[in-house]
Every structure is written in structure tokens, then in C-alpha cells.
Amino acid sequence: MMYFLLFFIRNFRTSTFRCFIIIGYLYCILCACDNTSKTSALREDYLSHSPDDVVIGIVDSSKFQSHFIKGVKLAIDEINQLGVLGKKIRPVYFDDQASCQNGKAIAKKISKDPKVLAVIGHNVSDIAISTSITYEKNGILFISPGASVSDLIQNQYKYIFRNIPSNEQLTSQLIKYANKNQLKKIVVVFDNQETILAFIFGKFRDKKVCQLTHWSRWCICTI
């Protein structure tokens, strides 16, 4: 997962991020006609008429070491040199400390602020899922650059996105790569936060796609 997170950060200051902000700005205005809540209606009105900066919530976790915030700041500095639809990006930073309880509290606080257009962060999958309901209900565009569970985007939400493959997709592609290159035995190493991938390999084992000869913090996968 760290590889994909670093990939996201490395490309964070490209036009992709700027497009995300512009599309998000327009998307929130267009979707607000459904008005899933009073806060959503207030947000639409603010975005349509306010001359102020575009406010983006940035949520990281101080529990883990990452360059996520550095990447965000670098991207915003570059974007603000040109502006977005005549406005600048003003980030508001939060720390969920890798806690679902803290994440929910942050999502609730953000949802009450009609100035916030979007939220980027909540890189832990469990936290991203638990907060996504609040963001969706209040019409806040939410993208997680780290959450990889497929459940995050399976509820036909309009405002919830992720920009990396799911754990199942990653595992499937890894096995396909091994088969294509005739790799009969590979070692898959997991850190403390990614042990869920071991269980996904277990699902492929049950489907007779591969065999696991060892299973713990790391596993040997026989294709």
C-alpha cells in the first residue's frame, strides 16, 4: 500500500489534482440539487455565491510516518499560483490518529462547516468507510488516497471516491503477474497495517488459484 500512496503523492502536484478540485467544485454544485441535508444546501449556496477561497479538509494520521501532508502542501502551492476558477485552495488540516472514533468526530465537525468543498485523506480503510457515510449525507466530496477495501465504493455513493485499486484487485494482478512470468513461488511481505492482504490471498487459495505454505506477517505463495 505504501507504494501506491507514494505514487499518489509523487503525482499529487500534477494537473490531476487541479482537475480533481475543479471537477469537485462543479460536481458539488450540480449534485446539491438533491440536497441530502440542510448542510448540503448551505454548502451549495456558499460555493455558488461566496468569493472566498475553496476550503479543502486534509486528514492524515500522526500515528504513521508518511509524506502525505508534504505532498498536499506542495500541490496546493503550485495550484494556487494559477488558482481554481478564480479562487485559491485553503487547506484545513486534521489528525484522526488512525482512530475510527476520532475520524468520525472529524467528519462530523467538517460536515457542519458549509465552507468545506471536499475532504482528502482518512488513509486507513476502516476509518474511510466509517466516515464516508457522513460525507455522503452532507454532500462533501471525499477521496481517500490510501483506503483499499472494496466496500468503500460499493454503496453507489455519489460523493465517495478512491484512486487506488482494491486489495482484491491488487492481489489478483499479483497472481496474474506471477503466472505470466512463470513464478512458481513468491514471498509476500506485509506490514502491521496490511495483514488483510494475507486473508485475501487466503480467498484465492480457497478458489484453488494459489497455495499458501506459510501465513503470518509474511507468507510464501505457491502459484
pLDDT tens profile 90-134: 999 999 998 999 999 999 999 989 889 899 999 888 899 999 999
Least confident of 6-10, 31-35, 50-54, 131-135: 6-10
92: its cell numbers: 484545513
Q: How far apart are CA 26 and CA 189, in angstroms?
A: 42
Whole-model pTM: value is 0.70
CA distance 9 to 145: 9
Domain boundaries along the sequence of the chain: 2-162, 167-222
pLDDT, tens digit (0-9, with 9 covering 90-100), for 128-185 = 999 999 999 898 999 988 887 777 777 778 888 888 877 778 777 877 887 788 876 7
Q: Which CATH superfamily is domain 2-162 in?
A: Response regulator (3.40.50.2300)
* Dihedral sign, Cα of residue 147, residue 168, residue 5, residue 154: negative
